[in-house]
């Protein structure tokens, strides 16, 4: 009996040992095998610089461009205007001194723009006759506004962008007549700088005049000379280009800073006539054109019209009246 019990117990122990050894061997095999790699684990563990349809991965977000970052030249940003040829043109920042005297486009595109501008400012399209029979201009803000004895400015008109150009004046102190419209003032600064480079010294004498100031000036001249004589060199109120803020009287020491025809014979006056168009100005009242302009020859009186128009006017040797009339008929080419 005892021997049988011992045999049975021994068999049971052998079976237990055999099972235990089998279980241990299986665990060793499983521990030796590499762990399975899931898609989620791979995506997190492996950084990537590429982006799919939904953008970059959340693990490595791309930085947003700052306002001051240099824009890419490969393609225009939404805030830029693309030119027809595919190049981009950034929206220009405002500046007290524009990059060019009139910011006019150059080349054929500029010519087309000028032609369109001339049509908009045609003399017959920019005049309104009131019940009192006075013809008043309807485009006082235009750089091509035509003001003369037949086309007046309203008594209430005053430019809202008057500034004092940084040039030398023939007198000291501050005065409203030192001012011009901003674009014209910046162009005058460039004109004076160009003259200085050529060894020419100019000084500004008289710019903007209000309706009231012009009324006072004309009344004084009329009292001294009589209205008819006075009106040859002095404008009635509302008929003066000085009220536009686009005109400046210029002189030199060689002319004693006087506003007299002799200024045209000085080296400064000759330089001004030869180069003013390069900066957007014209000699407004030409010699021999009194019947057209209504005023005597004034080589000191420069008027801003923009560079493209100024170059054509001075090259053709015509008055602003004749130029605008020709433009209305499609004949403005130099």
Domains of the chain, CATH where assigned: 107-210+240-328 (3.30.1380.10)
pLDDT band at 331 (very low <50, low <70, confident <90, very high): low
Average pLDDT value over all residues in the chain? 78
Helices (H), the chain: 2-32, 39-45, 107-120, 182-197, 211-225, 227-233, 267-275, 290-293, 307-316, 320-328
Under DSSP, the state recorded for 86 is: S
How many whole angstroms separate alpha carbon 320 and alpha carbon 309? Answer: 10
Average pLDDT over residues 100-110: 45
Q: What local confidence, expressed as pLDDT, does residue 45 receive? A: 36
Q: What local confidence, expressed as pLDDT, does residue 329 receive? A: 87
- Residue 2 or 121, more confident: 121
Helix (H) or strand (E) holding 299: strand 298-304
* Burial call 75-89: b when 16+ CB within 10 Å, e when fewer: ebeeeeeeeeeeebe
Q: What local confidence, expressed as pLDDT, does residue 112 receive? A: 76
pLDDT band at 157 (very low <50, low <70, confident <90, very high): very high
- Residue 4 or 118, more confident: 118
Tens of pLDDT along 188-229?
Answer: 999 999 999 999 999 999 999 999 999 999 999 999 999 999
Average pLDDT over residues 291-306: 97
Encoding tokens for residue 247?
């005109």
Q: What local confidence, expressed as pLDDT, does residue 330 receive? A: 78
pLDDT band at 109 (very low <50, low <70, confident <90, very high): low
Q: How many CA atoms lie within 13 A of 190 on its CB side?
A: 21
Q: Does the predicted TM-score (pTM) go above 0.85? A: no
> Does the pLDDT at position 185 exceed 60?
yes
Kindly tell me the number of DSSP H helices and DSSP E strands found in the chain. Answer: 10, 10
% of the chain beyond a pLDDT of 90? 63
> Does the pLDDT at position 39 exceed 50?
no
% of the chain beyond a pLDDT of 70? 66
Angle at 115 between CA 330 and CA 80, to 5 degrees: 160
Tens of pLDDT along 217-267?
Answer: 999 999 999 999 999 889 999 999 999 999 999 999 999 999 999 999 999
- Of the ranges 82-86, 141-145, 184-188, which one carries the lowest mean pLDDT score? 82-86
> Does the pLDDT at position 284 exceed 80?
yes
Average pLDDT over residues 85-103: 37
> Does the pLDDT at position 75 exceed 50?
no
> Does the pLDDT at position 74 exceed 50?
no
Tens of pLDDT along 12-37?
Answer: 555 545 554 554 444 444 444 444 43
Best CA proximity match to 247, nearest among 298, 317, 313: 298
Q: Three-state SS for 321?
A: helix
């Amino acid at each position: 009996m005892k021997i049988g019990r011992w045999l049975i117990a021994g068999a049971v122990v052998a079976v237990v040992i055999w099972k235990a050894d089998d279980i241990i061997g299986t665990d060793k095999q499983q521990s030796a095998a590499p762990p399975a790699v899931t898609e989620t684990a791979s995506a997190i563990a492996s950084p990537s610089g590429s982006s799919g349809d939904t953008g970059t991965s959340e693990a490595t977000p791309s930085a947003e461009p700052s306002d001051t970052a240099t824009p890419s030249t490969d393609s225009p940003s939404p805030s830029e205007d693309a030119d027809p040829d595919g190049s981009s043109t950034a929206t220009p920042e405002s500046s007290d001194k524009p990059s060019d005297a009139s910011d006019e486009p150059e080349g054929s595109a500029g010519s087309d723009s000028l032609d369109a501008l001339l049509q908009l400012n045609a003399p017959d399209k920019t005049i309104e006759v009131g019940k009192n029979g006075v013809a008043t201009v309807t485009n006082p803000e235009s750089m091509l506004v035509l003001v003369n004895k037949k086309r007046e400015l309203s008594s209430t008109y005053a430019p809202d962008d008057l500034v004092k150009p940084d040039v030398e004046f023939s007198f000291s102190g501050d005065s409203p007549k030192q001012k011009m419209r901003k674009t014209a003032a910046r162009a005058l600064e460039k004109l004076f700088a160009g003259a200085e480079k050529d060894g020419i010294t100019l000084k500004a004498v008289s710019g903007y005049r209000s309706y009231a100031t012009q009324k006072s000036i004309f009344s004084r001249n009329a009292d001294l000379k009589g209205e008819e004589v006075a009106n040859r060199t002095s404008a009635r109120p509302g008929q003066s280009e000085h009220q536009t803020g686009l005109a400046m009287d210029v002189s030199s020491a060689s002319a004693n800073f006087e506003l007299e025809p002799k200024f045209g014979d000085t080296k400064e006056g000759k330089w001004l006539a030869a180069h003013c168009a390069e900066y957007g100005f014209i000699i407004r009242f030409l010699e021999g054109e009194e019947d057209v302009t209504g005023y005597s020859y004034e080589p000191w009186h420069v008027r801003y019209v923009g560079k493209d128009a100024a170059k054509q006017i001075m090259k053709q040797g015509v008055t602003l009246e004749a130029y605008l009339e020709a433009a209305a008929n499609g004949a403005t080419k130099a």
